[in-house]
Structure 1
Amino acid sequence: MATLRIPPGRAGRLRLRRSLAVAVRGADLLEKKLSILRTEHQRLVQAEQAAAAAWHELLGEAETWLLRGLVLSGERALDAAAAGLAPAEVTFGWTMFMGAHHPSEVSCTVPARPPTAAAPGNTALINAEVTYRRAVVAAADYACHQAAARIVGAEVLSTRQRARALRRHWIPRLQDALTQVDLALEQNEHEDAVRRRWAAHVGEEGEPSG
């Protein structure tokens, strides 16, 4: 927390009032940002959960077909079917939302089986390949939503901490300091008034009588 440096007198009071107004305005803006971020984070979490469910379903289906294919033709048939296949290519698009830079879309391309590659040895392996292709696309979609939810969630936490720091610490310190300055100025003004009255009274008593 920053140290308060207050000029003496009315200049200090003016600076404190301005700092307090800025702090209150900042806290208001952070709380509005926090409300928007929470809504977006909830939407992203729901999208992440849906993407995760879709990926797990496809992955389970693909593994079922794979086991059937292995039972029918063995691991050598799987190795032969996988030979010559190119890896998938994944590209993410990014966006900025309320200070959070996160992936917003994904493109996943699974190359087709080249003509030179050996075909799967049985129908189960063919179905496994098709389903794994869909599962890879679903996995990329899940990764996109998961990363977005994590990044926006971190921004929610950071914004909440900053708003709380203003409301619970910085603003009360400014208010306390302003109260002390107001009391000091009031005391000084009272003492000045007393001195002026005293000086006026002494002056009147010191005047010669006519």
Structure 2
Amino acid sequence: MAELRVPPGRAGRMRLRRSLEAARRGADLLDRKLQILRTRHEALRQAERTAEEDWHRRLREAETWLRRGLLLSGEEALDAVACRPPAELEIVWTATMGVRHPRTASCTVPERDPGDPAPANTALFHAEAAYADAVRAAAEYAAVHAAARALGEEVLRTRQRVRALRRHWVPRLERALARADATLEQGEHEDAVRRRWAANALENRH
């Protein structure tokens, strides 16, 4: 790694000190950000697991009702059911430490029109309602999954930035500052020696 180029003298040392202070403050701020992100990310991960379990449970329930309905009336019973309009998804967005992500997602499943053919049996009626619940649960899971992924990626980026500051940039500035201090100290010592020599030479003339 190339050494830092710093102006000579006290101006260079002052610049290094300011840069070092800024790097340390930046690392501290990023550390606090990282802690907040980790806490929120873990909460989202837990919510994601819960939402995924709920979605799968509702999907299994819907599939169970569907199998019962098909056993009772056969697969042709599905042909008699009118196609519904597509479900509508609404996402509410928010931000955590500057990271934009979904906060909630709500899915509206259209109700059956009065003139539409009814399911052939009660099991298919329950299957229809259960699949609507599964679709809504899938939307909730998708939202929290996307939020957890967005914050997880920011956790990784922030951790890399903290490491870069703590392990590389701050030590590099500290080494440069130590060299600048040593150079100035040596220069001041040499100046003092030269002044003493000059003073002694002046005394000897008199």
Short-chain TM bin: over 0.9
Task: Give the counterpart letter for 2:95 in structure 1.
Answer: M
Q: Which residue of 2 aligns with 1:191?
A: 190
Q: 1:120: how far off?
A: 1.0
CA distance in 2: counterparts of 1:107 and 1:167, whole angstroms: 43
Question: Which whole-Å deviations, capped at 9, do the CAs of 1:169-190 have from their partners, x for residues lacking one?
Answer: 0000000000000000001111
The corresponding residue for 2:151 is 152
Question: What is the RMSD of the two structures over their aligned residues, measured on CA atoms?
Answer: 1.5
In 1, distance between residues paired with 2:8 and 2:165?
24
Corresponding residue of 2:5:
5
Does residue 107 (structure 1) correspond to residue 106 (structure 2)? The answer is: yes
Query: Could you give the per-residue CA deviations for residues 113-154 of structure 1, whole angstroms, max 9, x where no partner exists?
Result: 122321111111111001001111111111111111111111
How many Å separate the matches in 2 of 1:2 and 1:34?
A: 29
Kindly report which structure 2 residues correspond to 1:1-210, keeping only aligned pairs within 5 A, or say none: 4-81=4-81, 83-207=82-206
Give the letter for the 1:151 counterpart: A
Query: Unaligned 5+ residue runs, structure 2?
Result: none
The 8 Å contact of residues 88 and 108 in structure 1, kept in 2 or not, is answered as: yes
Displacement after TM superposition at 1:112 (Å): 0.4
Deviation of residue 103 (structure 1)?
Answer: 0.3
Do the aligned residues in 2 keep the contact of 1:109 with 1:137 (CA within 8 Å)?
yes
TM-superposed deviation, 1:2:
9.6
Give the gaps of 5 or more residues in structure 1: none
Number of paired residues?
A: 206
Residues 2 and 68 of structure 1, relative CA distance in 2, 3 Å threshold: farther
2: distance between equivalents of 1:49 and 1:128? 24
Moved more, 15-24 or 191-200: 191-200
Query: For residue 193 of structure 1, what is the amino acid of its counterpart?
Result: A
SS at match of 2:80: helix
